[in-house]
Amino acid sequence: MNDNHFGSIFRRRIIYVVIVGFFALCVIQLFNMQILQQPVYSEKSDENSVKPIYQLAPRGIFFDRNHKVLVGNKPSFTLRITPSNYDTKLTPYIEAILGMSPGYIDRILKANEAYSKFIPRKIARDVSFKVIAWYEENSSKLPGVDYVMETQRDYSFGIGGSHMFGYTKEIPLGTYQKRKSEYDIGDEIGFNGIEKTYEDYLRGEKGINYLLVDSRQKTIGRYMDGGEDQQAVKGADLILSIDKEAQRVAEEAFKDKRGAVVALDPTNGEVLAFLSAPEYNLEDFAKVTSNEVWRELNTNPDKPMFNRASMSTFAPGSTFKMISAIAALEEGIIDTNSKINCAGGYQFGDRYFKCLHVHGSVDVEASIEKSCNTFYYSLVNKLGLDLWSKYSKKFGFGAKTKIDIPEESGGIVPSTEYYNRVYGKNGWTRGFVISLGIGQGELNVTPLQLAQYASLFANFGKSAHPHFLKSYVDTKTKEKYDVKPQYFDIGISKKSFDIIRRAMYLVVQGAGTATNIRLPDIAIAGKTGTAQNPHGKEHSIFVGFAPYDNPKIAIAVIVENAGFGSTAAAPIARDVIKAYLKKDKKEEPKNLEVSQLAEGANNAH
Amino acid sequence: MHINYKLQDKFDFSIFIPAVGLIIFGLLAIYSSTANHPTASGNFQKQLVFVLISLVVFIITFSLPLQTFKKFSIALYGISIFFLIAVLLVGKTVYGAKSWFGIGGFGFQPSELAKLGTILMLSYWLTYRSRDINNLKDIGVALAIGILPVILIMLEPDMGTSIVFLIITISLIFWSGISLFGLFVVLSPGVVAIVSIMGTYAFIIALLFVVAALFFFKKDLFNSLTVFVINLSSGFFFDYVYKILKPHQQNRIASFLDPMADPLGAGYNALQAKVAIGSGGFLGKGFLHGNQTQLRFIPQQWTDFIYCVIGEEFGFIGSLLVISLFLIIFLRLFKLSAIAKDSFSVLVTIGVLTLMFSHFAINIGMNLGITPVIGLPLPFLSYGGSTQLMNMVMLGIVLNIYKNRKLHT
């Protein structure tokens, strides 16, 4: 066969076809890859080597109603450890330079084990410049350790406000998994208080710097010389309704006491002061919170983490007498002429309910002014549980006030249905109801509810849901947006309010239980109360408003274990009222241009 | 013109100049991929020295009398086999394979020498006076000459190089005029072996094809049975070999099937090489401006993945130019195989062509994602002294054959 010899034409052709054929295949593949699919590969190549570095946005700043800074920002250094590169032999040195006890770093690394080991862990925030200098000198010997400059909350503006402001912390794993598109691991998120409610305003937009990295993720330079970078946008600043001076006075007064103060603008529900004492130090949460701090806060018998102002519930005592009075007036059960004789107590069935004094003949006005119990034992008996409970609820008790922080309790207003549920249909008697008349028994209210209650007397049953946020300033547009209060009217006649308000006026200005807080230039109206406390000395309570003719502030103060309302709570209420109104007279809120406000915000970083 | 003609008559510029072009491309690519590299930044200078040494060796081999190669073929093959055995005993392990001798600062790969030794030995044996390539015994000896280095190199283990030896052996036997049946006997065990990794059913189907082919050739029962048994056992043998392969080699085979499945593992290089070439586009990103290359996304890029440096930085134009230069060399060698003065020279030329083409095809195929990731250098371009030296020696030999094509002895 001609084909089967050395180097035959047939064999030559096969070799030729293989060579040229493979060449053609290569050309086709090159054309396909470099011309047709070039965009796809280019994108992959960029993804490979361009690494986005996120810049945290500074959070929005809190201003008070007069545009004074309440909470600002400051730059701080955060030391981080990336476990994938980290050598645990370094731990003792780093702990020593940070002044942390042994085991500190180990605990943080253990707590974050669920995250990828390539993600840096924040070991300590707000580390001193000395530590950073030490790091810079030794960085080559500290693999997996680095630091970033962040902004951190600055609380050095003279007030605490821990329970209303709240704090931020690293996003918990559960929250992160729900909001993956918005947050990255290690981001700060508002954890409670205003920081939590207005998280979406406050957090701003992260900036992105695009870096060129090599295959070992080592930075080589900036991508497109920074042309594609995006600046971080600071979060919106919040203008809160808080009056810094009133808040400061309240905090001062509660330095060594436990209790709460809530002051509202009765006309629109703006919170003027909000204090739960004792406070905790927000600074402790601005850093990575050490276990020691946590343990101390959680085991402290004074429970500093507990937001008393909107979460603690107690029986409001005599401050609640106005409920029965106004209900009876509205329902026509009594009028201003209705009188009762107080012989020092009230006999109901086989039980005798005591009054503090022998008041003699008492009308509704005197019953509030002098705080006569006998009048109310009798009155609530006439009123009946259901009406009493209906009016209690009208004034906002037994339900949350919808204030704009997440920490709030609704309290309890007993009703027929409530007693039936708790004691069974026949397990309770009308005797249960008698003590409700003087605000004792199973009635549970919060200081915030009492402040709202005072507002409603101050403003004839009209007010708005309590809220902290007056307005916010959009960082990009510098535009100020006002928050519209949510108004409501509980629908009680002016006539009834006039009677009760007059009586509350006399409590301070007449011959009542709180004449000790009378001021020469400000007419305060109010009501004292003493809450029975099964665990110790009674709580001292005061609710009130001022000025009487044109109320601008309504307030509730509770001082735990301090006895009578007139002695402990009322003077604090007076001081806060004075601080707010005096200043209010002197300097009207500065009419700052919004742009100036933004300037101020920048300076307050 | 007259002088040029005379010079071209003695020296084939159309092989030499493309080769020099490729060497220059190689030096550029090595410079680009190692210039800022922490450990390989000296490679450009080293390669420059290799190139100069290999030019000297090229001139020597070009100037030697042509008969020298025939005369020394047995000795060279013997030395090659000796070194291949020696390297298994005292060699240095580089990238998981025991394929290097360390001599002073330089390393030497005996398998490179064995390429020349095997080509010369096979050419010598296959063209020896009264050889009948369709005689089973003669086929057997030719196969033995080729397979011996294949097995020794597999033991290093260096899969890529042993595949090249296998291809050279088959190519030279094929060229010598083996019958279809003979070729079937040589090739079928290999095909069956490769099919056997795909599973038992594939293996059985392949064996059925073998049986069908045997009926077609109508050979006697003894021959047919022998061939069948060889096929059967090769399947089992290869399956056994696959299992004793190093995990990184098994991974390489697996990663070819789906390079995206394990982007940071064995398929990583193949994927990054494709990304580098594809993102180069029409004109490329420019010399020293390929981010895949400059940011070192392809490890050891200056050796087996040198082509993607060119693909990325010089684009479609550069990539096409490089493979065109190769095509010129291959077609020129192909033509030389027709005009060489004797059958020994023809087979040596075919051997060199096969060697360079198989390196080219496997390497470029790997870079373009057409073939599996098998580590083989790209002739003239990849960094490496032994390879550069042997390529230039072979270039010297084929140009020597060209020079002597008209002489009759």
Query: Residue A1's closest chain B neighbor by CA?
Result: B179
DSSP lists the bridge partners of residue A69 as: A63
Nearest to A212 among B277, B295, B353 (CB): B295
Judged by average pLDDT, the poorest of A16-20, A217-221, B48-52, B214-218 is: A217-221
Asked if B337 and B346 count as a contact pair (C-beta separation under 8 A), the reply is yes
Assembly ipTM? 0.89
Task: Tell me how crowded residue A323 is: count the other CB atoms within 10 A of its CB.
Answer: 29
Q: How far is CA B336 from CA A291, B69, B164, in A?
A: 83, 17, 22
Q: Which of B129, B295, B317, B331 to mutate to test the interface with A (most CBs of A within 10 A)?
A: B295
Contact B282 A34 (CB under 8 A): yes
Confidence of residue A605 (pLDDT cuts 50, 70, 90): very low
Query: Residue B284's closest chain A neighbor by CA?
Result: A34
Query: Residue B183's closest chain A neighbor by CA?
Result: A4
Q: For residue B315, is it within any domain?
A: yes
List B residues 165-204 in contact with A (Cβ-Cβ < 8 A): 171, 174-180
* Distance (Å, whole) CA A414 – CA A444: 9
Return the pLDDT at B1.
45
Return the pLDDT at B310.
95
Contact A7 B179 (CB under 8 A): no
Query: Residue B37's closest chain A neighbor by CA?
Result: A214
Nearest to A48 among B292, B343, B368 (CB): B292
Nearest to A40 among B180, B278, B330 (CB): B278
A contacts of B171 (beta carbons < 8 Å): 15
Nearest to A45 among B275, B323, B330 (CB): B275
Query: What does the pLDDT average to over A308-321?
Result: 93
A contacts of B259 (beta carbons < 8 Å): none
* Distance (Å, whole) CA B267 – CA B373: 8
Q: For residue B408, is it within any domain?
A: no
Structural tokens at position B86:
């020696």
Return the pLDDT at A476.
86
B contacts of A27 (beta carbons < 8 Å): 320, 323
Structural tokens at position A51:
């690494």
Confidence of residue A52 (pLDDT cuts 50, 70, 90): confident
What is the CATH class of A52-240? alpha beta
pLDDT-flagged residues of chain B (< 50): 1, 257-264
CATH topology of domain A283-586: Beta-lactamase (3.40.710)
Residue of higher predicted confidence among A219 and B233: B233
Return the pLDDT at A583.
63
Task: Tell me how crowded residue B213 is: count the other CB atoms within 10 A of its CB.
Answer: 17
Helix (H) or strand (E) segment spanning residue B348: helix B343-367
A contacts of B295 (beta carbons < 8 Å): 48-49, 212-215, 220
A contacts of B368 (beta carbons < 8 Å): 26, 29-30, 33
Percentage of chain A lying above the pLDDT 70 cut = 92
Q: pLDDT (tens digit, 9 = 90+) per residue, A236-269?
A: 999 999 999 999 999 999 998 999 999 999 999 9
B357 touches chain A (CB under 8 A): yes
Return the pLDDT at A176.
84
Return the pLDDT at A109.
85
Return the pLDDT at A599.
43
Contact B179 A4 (CB under 8 A): yes
List B residues 316-335 in contact with A (Cβ-Cβ < 8 A): 316, 319-320, 323, 326-327, 330-331, 334
CA distance A35 to chain B (A): 6
Contact B278 A34 (CB under 8 A): yes
Q: pLDDT (tens digit, 9 = 90+) per residue, A67-105?
A: 999 999 988 888 888 887 788 888 888 888 888 888 888
User: Edge-to-edge, what's the strand order for the sheet holding B92-94?
Assistant: B92-94, B97-103, B106-108
Q: Which of A8, A16, A19 to mutate to test the interface with B (most CBs of B within 10 A)?
A: A19
Return the pLDDT at A453.
97
Q: For residue B409, is it within any domain?
A: no
Nearest to B177 among A5, A38, A49 (CB): A5
Using the predicted structure, report yes or no on whether residue A556 has a pLDDT greater than 80.
Answer: yes
Contact A49 B295 (CB under 8 A): yes
Q: Mean pLDDT for chain A? A: 87
Query: Residue A31's closest chain B neighbor by CA?
Result: B316
* Domain region containing B338: 2-403
Nearest to B279 among A6, A29, A45 (CB): A45
Return the beta strands (E) in A236-312 as ranges: 237-240, 259-264, 271-277
B361 touches chain A (CB under 8 A): yes
* Distance (Å, whole) CA A255 – CA A239: 26
CA distance A214 to chain B (A): 4
Task: Tell me how crowded residue A244 is: count the other CB atoms within 10 A of its CB.
Answer: 24
Residue A427: partners with Cβ closer than 8 Å, 6 or more residues away: A419
Q: For residue B364, is it within any domain?
A: yes
Phi, psi of A513 (to 5 degrees): -85, -10
A contacts of B320 (beta carbons < 8 Å): 27, 30
Return the pLDDT at A216.
59
Q: For residue B242, is it within any domain?
A: yes
Return the pLDDT at A591.
47
Contact B295 A48 (CB under 8 A): yes
Q: For residue B63, is it within any domain?
A: yes
A contacts of B282 (beta carbons < 8 Å): 34-35, 38
Count of structural domains within chain B: 1
Helix (H, G, I), strand (E, B) or coil at B7: helix
A110 touches chain B (CB under 8 A): no
**Degrees (nearest 5) of the Cα angle A162, A163, A168?**
70
Contact B277 A41 (CB under 8 A): yes
CA distance B154 to chain A (A): 26
Query: What does the pLDDT average to over A387-412?
Result: 95
Q: Which of A216, A45, A214 is nearest to B311 (CA)?
A: A45
* Distance (Å, whole) CA A384 – CA A388: 6
Structural tokens at position A179:
């909001």
Q: Where are the domains of chain A?
A: 9-36, 52-240, 283-586
A216 touches chain B (CB under 8 A): yes
Query: Residue B339's closest chain A neighbor by CA?
Result: A7
Confidence of residue A532 (pLDDT cuts 50, 70, 90): confident
Q: How far is CA A565 from CA A514, A538, A561, A573, B234, in A?
A: 8, 9, 11, 11, 102
DSSP A41-54: HHHHHHHHHEEEEE
Contact B274 A33 (CB under 8 A): yes
Return the pLDDT at B249.
61
CA distance A182 to chain B (A): 27
Contact A41 B278 (CB under 8 A): yes
Q: Which of A83, A79, A60 is nearest to A168 (CA)?
A: A60
The number of C-beta contacts closer than 8 angstroms across A and B is: 127
Percentage of chain A lying above the pLDDT 90 cut = 54
List B residues 50-109 in contact with A (Cβ-Cβ < 8 A): none
CA-CA-CA-CA torsion for B171, B172, B174, B177, nearest 10 degrees? 160
B contacts of A214 (beta carbons < 8 Å): 295-297
CA distance B3 to chain A (A): 32
Q: Which of A525, A521, A524 is nearest to A585 (CA)?
A: A521
Sign of CA dihedral A559, A564, A568, A572: positive
Helix (H, G, I), strand (E, B) or coil at B77: helix
Q: pLDDT (tens digit, 9 = 90+) per residue, A562-588?
A: 877 678 999 999 999 999 998 655 554
